[in-house]
Amino acid sequence: MSSSLSPSRLANYATCPRLYDYRYAQDVNAPDRTELYLNQGTIYHETIEDVCDATDRDNDPETIHDRAMQVFDAKWDEHSTPDDYESAAHQEYQRAENRAAIASFFDPDGGDGIEHARYSVATECWVECDVDGRELHGKADNVVRTDDGLHIFDYKRNTDGVLSSGTAEYLGEHLDGEAHEPKRVRNAFQTATYVEGVKNEPFYEDGMEVRFSFYGLLNSTSFESTPSGYDVSARGWGRETTEIYEDHYDTIWALIRAAHDGITDKTYEPEPFELITEEACPDCDYREMCADRLSTEVRR
């Protein structure tokens, strides 16, 4: 049976097979990148996780909100590092922005996080599935009980560029080698892994509706100067991809099979070469050492 792979690994292969080769197969060290947004992601993920785990269904919204703000402050102190920022003012602004996102998410007056916390059945939930001999695994940020079943959420800074009904057609173009859409393909991989994986969890019951959404905590932000400094506000919302998964099921699983089989067969030649060279190479961590890319320079 094939080895189990995560959506992240499949997406790296979909971006460029050679990128996967360097990053995972050969384990080549890439240049250091800023930890700023990684640390911020840890802060809001752990804040949501801790609040959900501590919340009962009968907790009132104000209690949940106050708990969230206290947890956020503790997580910020734990994970935020001054060295990640250009200045103390930059760090303080980022704190205000992220704190505003948590405050909005857990707003006692209709914030989505209130229901996410009250009806959470699992956070940081490890899921696994096997479809046609292709094993997949991943960690779902939050699984929420609904009237009809389960709703899985993946929390992100924002949903800019996330797969939508208007861009789902690009999945087929990527499969056919006519376009290069690894970010949206990754969203499809995540949706498939979590929707199918959660069906193997003990809290899933036959016949339950299973939904999946990306949720951008900082989809909208605003800044306003005040006599004493400034105020930052933020607003988030979800983008559900369940229907896209259902409508493009065959294409998505063809993409999974192509990436999964390429990885397990150790096929790392970049194809389609011209598209990958044009779209993936400019931002690749390994571009200065990649023989495939350098060969294009020699030909010129």
Is 161 part of a structural domain of the chain?
Answer: yes
pTM above 0.85, yes or no: yes
Question: Is there a domain that residue 110 lies in?
Answer: no
> For position 230, what pLDDT does the model report?
83
- What is the structure's pLDDT at 2? 54
The DSSP H or E segment spanning 152 is: strand 149-156
| Residue pLDDT, tens place only, 173-186 | 999 999 999 999 99
- Tell me which of 235 and 33 has the higher pLDDT: 235
86 — pLDDT class (breaks 50, 70, 90): confident
Q: Mean pLDDT across the chain, nearest whole number? A: 93
Residue 200 located in a structural domain? yes
* Position 155 in a domain: yes
Q: What's residue 300's pLDDT?
A: 45
What CATH code is carried by the domain that includes residue 201? Answer: 3.90.320
Whether residue 69 has pLDDT greater than 80: yes
Tell me: pLDDT of 202 over 60.
yes
Percent of the chain whose predicted confidence (pLDDT) is above 70: 96
Please write down the long-range contacts of 182-187, taking CB distance under 8 Å and 24 or more positions apart. 182/11, 182/14, 182/15, 182/280, 183/11, 185/11, 185/14, 185/255, 186/7, 186/8, 186/10, 186/11, 186/14, 187/162, 187/163, 187/214, 187/241
Confidence bin at 30 (pLDDT 50/70/90): low
Identify the band that residue 29 occupies on the pLDDT scale cut at 50, 70 and 90: confident
- Rounded Cα distance between 157 and 238, Å, is 11
Sheet (strand 149-156) strand order? 120-131, 134-145, 149-156, 209-226, 229-240
Strands 229-240, 120-131: parallel, antiparallel or unpaired by DSSP?
unpaired
Q: What's the mean pLDDT in 139-143?
A: 98
What are the tens digits of pLDDT across the range 208-249?
A: 999 999 999 999 999 888 888 889 999 999 999 999 999 999
pLDDT, position 37: 77
Would 238 be classed as within a structural domain?
no
238 or 87, greater pLDDT: 238
Model pLDDT, residue 158: 96
Q: Is residue 233 part of a domain?
A: no
Q: Is 29 part of any domain?
A: no
Do the domain assignments include residue 36? no
Residue-range definition of the domain harbouring residue 134? 1-24+120-214+243-300
How large is the average pLDDT for residues 255-275? 95
Number of domain units in the chain: 1
> In this predicted structure, what is the pLDDT of residue 38?
83
